[in-house]
Amino acid sequence: MVKEKQRWTKKKRIWMVIGSVVTLVVVVTIAAGGYFFKVAEVRENKSFIKGTELSKDAVLYQEQEAFLQQPKLTEWQMKAKDGTKLVGYYLPAQTVTNKTVVVIHGFGVDHRAMAPYGTLFHKLGYNVLMPDDRAAGKSGGKYIGYGYLDAKDYLGWINQVIQRNGQNSQIAVMGASMGGATTMMLSGMNPPKQVKTFIEDAGYSSVDAELKYQAGSMYGMPKWLSNVLIPVVSAYSKVFAGYSYGQADAVKLLHNNKRPMLFIHGGADDFVPTRFINQVYAASRGPKEKWIVPGAKHVQSYATDPVGYEHKIEAFMDKYFK
C-alpha cells in the first residue's frame, strides 16, 4: 500500500513537471509570436530596412528627383472599405491619355521608394498613380497588409482612376518587393476589365514562405521552429489585422489570373530569394514573360541594368497598350 502510494506520488510529480514544461513552452511560443508579429506587421520604423529615398550618388537618383519634383504632382485620397484613410500621388502624362500605371511600393517604405519607376512610366507617356500603402507614408493604418489587404485597397485606387479618367481607361499595375506580391495577389482578385497588364519585380510567393525564410536568414531560426512559430504570428495577424498568412498567398491567387504579366527578379536576391520567381511564374494562367537580371540584389534590377530594364518594360507595355 505504501509502495503504491509512493509510485502514485512519483507519477504525479512527473506529470506535474511535464505539465509545467508544456505550459512554459506554450507561454514562450505565444510571447515570441507576439514579438515577431510586432516586428513584422505593426507600423513603426524597421531597422532592417534602408531609407525610402536614394542618396545623391545612387544610380537612379536623377530619376527619383525627376518624379518627386514634378510641379503637376497632385495628392489623391481614398477611404478603404474598413475606413482607413489612404493617400496617393498622381502625375498626369505630358500629353493627355487614357493610359495609367499604378505603381506599388514595398515593405517599410512609402511611394517615394518607387519614384524612379514613376519617371520611367511617365517618360513612356503614361499617367502615373503612386499611393502610400496602409501603415505607410501619409496613409493611415496600424498594421502592414503584406500585399493581401493592400491588393484590396488597390482595387479601390483602380476604380478611382476609372472614375476620374473615364471608362475607356487602360491600366497597368506595377509593384516591387511587397508591391510585387501585392500586384500578383491583385491579379487574382478579379480587377476591373480596364486593367490590361501586370508587372511584378522581386515579389514573394507567399507571406508564409517569405517570413519562414527571413526567420532563418535574420534570426538563424531552424526550420522546425519557424514552422511552429509562424502559424502563431499568423494567428495574431488574423485577430488584430484581419487576415491570416494563408490568405496572403500570391501563388494561390495567381491561379485566377489570365491577363499578361511580366515577372522580374534579381539573380542575386538574398532578401526575397530568386527561386520564388519560378513558383509565381508557373502559377499565372495568362500570357507571361520572365526576366532574371544577373547579379542584381533585391529590388536592384533597374539600378543594375537601367537601359535593359527600361527596354524590357517598354517592349512589354507596347504589346498590350495601343
- The predicted structure's pLDDT at residue 25: 44
Number of domains in the chain: 1
- The answer as to whether 15 is a domain residue is no
Computed over every residue of the chain, the mean pLDDT equals 91
Distance in Å from the first CA to the final CA of the chain = 93
Residue 292, all three cell numbers: 532574371
79 Cβ contact list (under 8 Å, min separation 6): 85, 86
Q: What is the CATH number of the domain that holds 109?
A: 3.40.50.1820
For the whole prediction, is pTM greater than 0.75? yes
Residue type at 259 in one-letter notation: R
- The answer as to whether 311 is a domain residue is yes
- The answer as to whether 303 is a domain residue is yes
- The answer as to whether 29 is a domain residue is no
Task: Identify which of 278, 259, 271 has the alpha carbon closest to the alpha carbon of residue 106.
Answer: 271
Residue 304, all three cell numbers: 543594375
- The predicted structure's pLDDT at residue 74: 97
What confidence tier does 170 reach under pLDDT thresholds 50, 70, 90? very high
Domain that holds residue 270: 60-220+243-321
Residue 98 confidence (pLDDT) above 60: yes
Rounded to the nearest 10 degrees, what angle do helices 306-320 and 115-123 cross at?
A: 50
- The answer as to whether 141 is a domain residue is yes
215 Cβ contact list (under 8 Å, min separation 6): 36, 221, 225, 226, 229, 230
State the average pLDDT over residues 175-193: 98
- The answer as to whether 80 is a domain residue is yes
- The answer as to whether 179 is a domain residue is yes
What confidence tier does 1 reach under pLDDT thresholds 50, 70, 90? low
DSSP track, 213-224:
HHHHHHH---HH
- The predicted structure's pLDDT at residue 22: 42
The percentage of residues in the chain with a pLDDT greater than 90, rounded to a whole number, is 81
Say which range, 94-98, 131-135, 188-192, 222-226, has the weakest mean pLDDT: 222-226
- The answer as to whether 268 is a domain residue is yes
Give residue-wise pLDDT tens across range 25-79.
445 567 777 788 898 899 988 777 777 899 999 999 999 999 999 999 999 999 9
Exposure class string for 295-305: b at 16+ Cβ within 10 A, else e: ebbbbbbbbbb
Q: Find where cell 507600423 sits.
A: 43
Give residue-wise pLDDT tens across range 115-164.
999 999 999 999 999 999 999 999 999 999 999 999 999 999 999 999 99
Give residue-wise pLDDT tens across range 204-255.
999 999 999 999 998 898 898 889 889 999 999 999 999 999 999 999 999 9
For residues 36 and 32, give the distance between their C-alpha atoms in angstroms, rounded to a whole number.
6
